[in-house]
Chain A
């Protein structure tokens, strides 16, 4: 079963998303802070990362995604955002602007979320749960 890590500081979001994915049969882990998330990447080695734009600080999610890519970690990332936060942000100029594989606006519809998850996992060659 594919492993998915959910990183979001809002406990209700992580609850809802992990519920949807777990019911589909995925192996789900959650983290609430960037630190926890980085640790979980090492321990849990997820096949997919669902990342919120805002963690403790605004744009923490973006910064974390950039850091991962810089370190050579190519794990597929779905970014969850509140509409309007995508634009008007500062990025590192020497990096890919948005080093994520997909964007979903909050609140993410369960069917859209599952579809995206399936698509990205298939691309990676991991086995999606249908």
Chain B
């Protein structure tokens, strides 16, 4: 069975953001928040500095620059919201947005420098500050060529002041902005510092980001993968996790059957329908897959130059430039192949391989769990089916024998002496017990296997319960036990299979009457919110606390029940439990040994159980 999800994932219509993409958006939030602070500082600091340090700086112009920074930030803030709302998947637009912000920031800084002394300005330091912050927040969007813009802007300002185009604001006295040595030294130190800062921050930040992305992705991925026991869902999630964290274009997973030769299941994420239909690889014939199984890892950095890749034009047309495959190894052997597809420009690193193998390892565990679960479910179903078939077979000879004995008992073949009649009565009684046992077993098996599906409909609970209770009236009277019936005044309807309701009522009332030697049995039907409640209370032998945990186990009969002398199969309560569950109801039980037992069953009034 081939199952695939293409662009649709169990998490929604859009592909979930990769870790890197999530970080980008988060960092942009940060940058914009910091800029509010920076802009405000500029606006406030300028007049303050001029006042306190008695420096002749154009604080009005500086404050205006600060206000423009704030105004631009407002535009950025709004733009970020629009971008996120529009299409969270448009990575390219986010990239462009980042670059625009940085460039405008540097422009603003250059203006501030020129307004506060040019080559002599202490605010040159803020450039370094900005480069540090920006490369820590956005390590994946910086490179040294981009960083060069910073010293370029500063150099332009310094040169323009040097040649006199830009007015110089005097900070130092005498002013050094025309001193070539000073200018070179100042700019030189700045350039060196720029690159130095950028290098340090980018290296550290990239490594941290990578690690964070791996761990975060692995955590999320493993959590997703192991959160389901359904095999097809497990495969879908494994295929989903890979592109989300590796940042690759697509992924596919193929699972072999238990014998290890045929592909049993497949799932993929990020591949188009066309690709999936037209490039179906026959596992046995696929050299790529066979190599992966044999070697554990196969890296195809360029699909066009590797002969093992079938239909390379189609592969290229899909936008795939490279493939990385790892074998999925379970405890019992190789389970299948996991493949990551890279877009052009994506290079697989050793980290990628390690990561893919980690996903495969966790995936293997999840797959084996899912298989075990399915096997258990199948076994349980087989067992129930077997039980059902067997009991059907058992019924026939029992019925026939009952009929034969009945013929003897009616003396239609001749009269019986006392001993003969006694033997016959005992035989019939034992046969009757066998008959009941088989019926109970059949009920139990049917309930569990869901072979005879319930046909729920509106059932008059009051009527059903009344009818059942009446059946036991004679028996109760014969024992000297009172039987009280309490029915509600209005119509008491529930939503369930009528045979189920009858059966569970019979079991409960039968138990109550059977295990009560003196006193009363009360059968009450009442309404509680959206439930109808059946309450069967008796003043009988009760249930010892030691028996409580086993009460719903099949064939369990508490010690005092056995000693009571009444026959019983021990299946009654387990059957009631099955019936209540499949009717969408709840049951509860309370008992005191020697005092009596009360069983309460709540069933839904309408179809919404």
Contact = CB atoms under 8 A, between A and B. Distances in A.
A97 B426 CA distance: 35
Contacts of B423: 15-16, 19
B530 interface: no
Nearest to B430: A12
How big is chain A's contact interface, by range?
under 10
Interface string A1-41: 00000000000100110010000000000000000000000
Contacts of B87: none
B431 to A, nearest CB: 11
A35 to B, nearest CB: 16
B86 interface: no
Nearest to A12: B426
The binding surface of chain B is classed by DSSP as helix
B519 to A, nearest CB: 28
A19 B421 CA distance: 12
Nearest to A10: B430
B257 interface: no
Nearest to B422: A15
B396 to A, nearest CB: 21
B419 interface: yes
B190 to A, nearest CB: 93
A15 B427 CA distance: 11
B71 to A, nearest CB: 92
Contacts, number: 10
Contacts of B427: 12
A19 B426 CA distance: 13
Contacts of A16: 423, 426
A19 B422 CA distance: 10
Nearest to A22: B419
Contacts of B422: 15
Contacts of A19: 419, 423
Nearest to A19: B419
A12 B426 CA distance: 7
Nearest to B427: A12
A16 B426 CA distance: 10
A111 B451 CA distance: 47
A16 B422 CA distance: 9
A41 to B, nearest CB: 26
Nearest to A15: B426
A14 B157 CA distance: 118
A12 B430 CA distance: 9
Interface string B405-433: 00000000000000100110011001000
A54 B335 CA distance: 52
Contacts of B419: 19
Interface string A75-117: 0000000000000000000000000000000000000000000
B144 to A, nearest CB: 82
A28 to B, nearest CB: 13
A76 B423 CA distance: 28
B329 to A, nearest CB: 42
A15 B422 CA distance: 9
B555 to A, nearest CB: 16
A101 to B, nearest CB: 28
Nearest to A11: B426
A39 B328 CA distance: 72
A19 B420 CA distance: 10
Nearest to A23: B419
10 contacts: A12-B426, A12-B427, A12-B430, A15-B422, A15-B423, A15-B426, A16-B423, A16-B426, A19-B419, A19-B423
Given A12-B430, A16-B426, A19-B423, 6 more contacts: A12-B426, A12-B427, A15-B423, A15-B426, A16-B423, A19-B419
